[in-house]
Amino acid sequence: MPSLVEALEQKYGLGNLDIQTDQDESLVSIFVPKLPPRMSVPELLVLNDCNIDKAGESEDLRKKCSSVKELDLAQNKLEKWSEVFGILTNMPRVEFVNLSLNRLGGPVAPPSEFSMTRLRSLVLNNTRLEWENVESLLSLLPMLEELHLSLNDYKQVLIDTIEDDFSGPLEGVHLDDEDDETTEEDEMVNQCTCGAKDPPQGAARTDSVCSMYKKTNAHEGVRKLHFTGNPVTQWQEICRLGRVFPNLESLVLADCPIKSLETANTATSDDNNCDSSHAHFQSLTFLNLSNSDIKTWDDIDRLARFPKLKNLRVQNWPLWDKCDSTEHERRQLLIARLPQVQILNGGGMVGVEEREDAERAFIRYYMDRPESDRPERYAELVSVHGKLDPLVDIDLRPEKRVKVKFTYGDTSEIRSVDVYRTVFDLKTRLERLAGIPAAKMRLYYVDQDMQGPEEMKYPHKQLYSYNIRSGDEIIIDRKH
């Protein structure tokens, strides 16, 4: 398998390229490239799926890649972090690195003088990276702003800034691979309440469970975190991410089967409670929870308490399948419950008129329901808009049948017509009256206010779309 240097030479033909990196600042020189642009190393270097498994000669790598700012090495054969650090050390300007679909294992042990002060974005999707390695990387990347950890099969978040608050069985984690049978000791482990104030009777803190959680320092720099497609079900695990990244502004949890935003330690909605679902997301402005497993409106009310949340995606929830409302009505209910959200499920901003209409619709939706079924938001909106009168049920559908005057030459006849028929169907029914085949017939509509005549030329157009009323006239003519 090729090294990165060899893959670079194969793709760009840079085998004999000698790039001068140190220039005498006292000299003024003009550089005329001898190679065409396609032969130079681009700032965006993409070497996907090249079977790269190592860095290559360090000196050659530095000469060829010292100007690289974005590096994409997804879907290669890199397995050792020593090779990754060998690559990054020789790219001092790199700001973005994609290592997705590389099975990186082993300890994260950088060279003694390793420094990555420019790296802002790191993509580690589908790498199955262990949490202790994630923690090690974070300590090495103080300027990191965006981190991608999607599709890594994480069922738990095993790093935290506090002593682990584990208070339930570790879903999907087997502590003893050699014996799957449940024993009394296993039962004790499953009841472990590490860090809990009042552990249940007989529960014990065990090293086998608690050692899986690693205490770390908060990373203040990360603003965007992508965590899509990880089988996390408990919001308590997501709270760990909020503690590790306290300044998160964007969090993508799409395709994570989260069951509720209720934390395991408390069900209270008190905004001052440190265990509330939003307590560790004080800076969050964007949240994607699409394709979650959430089934109650209570979780929408919890989202409303996120203090800075402006952009929210909550598509494809089981909750929507249970709603007896249209998509438009559901959007209104969501807007009314989420007073701070400005963009809902993509699209444009929620305008002032749309929000007011949604809030009024919300009041009318719950006004005839029992008081016990009304959410807290109902009273808040009634205090703003007052108690509204029910909307009058007006049937705006056109009359089904109208009496129309049909004229052909000197002959006129008044007939009752179904306005839901098409123009072609009407022509077929007029063949006997006019003695003209439908294919040879023209119809002209004249309303009773003498507007027209308007040719009815579209065969599949329904008659009601012409606003036909009783007393109007249709003139029959033959095509020439």
Whether residues 132 and 230 share a domain: the answer is yes
Q: Is residue 444 located within the same domain as residue 419?
A: yes
pLDDT tens digits, 122-163 = 999 999 999 999 999 999 999 999 999 999 999 999 999 987
Q: Is residue 256 part of a domain?
A: yes
Give pLDDT tens digits for 346-365: 988 999 999 999 999 999 99
Integer CA distances (angstroms), 429 to 93, 176, 415, 423, 424, in order: 79, 81, 11, 10, 9
Residues 321 and 442 in one domain: no
Q: What pLDDT shows up at residue 129?
A: 95
232 plus 341 within the same structural domain: yes
Band (pLDDT 50/70/90 cuts) for residue 193 is very low
Q: What is the span of the domain harbouring residue 381?
A: 355-385
| Mean pLDDT computed over every residue of the chain | 84
Beta strands in 30-169 (DSSP E): 44-46, 70-72, 96-98, 121-123, 146-148, 159-160
Predicted local confidence at residue 173, as pLDDT: 47
Residue 411 in any domain: the answer is yes
Same domain, residue pair 419 and 441: yes
State how far the alpha carbon of 412 is from the alpha carbons of 297, 403, 421, 425, 475, in Å: 62, 13, 21, 20, 9
User: Rounded to an integer, what distance in angstroms lies between the CA atom of residue 29 and that of residue 274?
Assistant: 62
Residues 85 and 126 in one domain: yes
Question: Do 360 and 461 fall into the same domain?
Answer: no
CB 346 within 8 A of CB 315: no
Give the whole-angstrom CA distance, residue 459 versus residue 449. Answer: 25
Please tell me the least confidently modeled range out of 252-261, 266-275, 291-300.
Answer: 266-275
In a domain, 166, yes or no: no
How many structural domains compose the chain? 3
In a domain, 20, yes or no: no
CATH number where 285 lies: 3.80.10.10
Q: What's the average model confidence in pLDDT over 46-72?
A: 93
Same domain, 65 and 99: yes
CA 389 to CA 229: how far, in whole Å?
Answer: 46
Q: Residue 311 falls within a domain, yes or no?
A: yes
93-113 pLDDT, tens digit each: 999 999 999 999 888 988 887
- Together in a domain, 344 and 248: yes
- Residue 448 is predicted with a pLDDT of 80
Say whether both 294 and 329 belong to one domain: yes
Looking at the chain, how many residues does it have?
480
Average confidence (pLDDT) over 200-218: 59
Say yes or no: 370 and 316 in one domain. no
> Does residue 105 form part of some domain?
yes
pLDDT per residue over 409-468, tens digit each? 888 999 999 998 999 999 999 998 888 999 999 999 998 876 778 999 999 999 988 888
Residues 151 and 250 in one domain: yes
Is residue 171 in a domain? no
CA 214 to each of CA 30, 133, 136, 142, 237: distance values in angstroms, whole numbers, following the listed order: 55, 11, 11, 19, 13
Determine, yes or no, domain membership for 167.
no
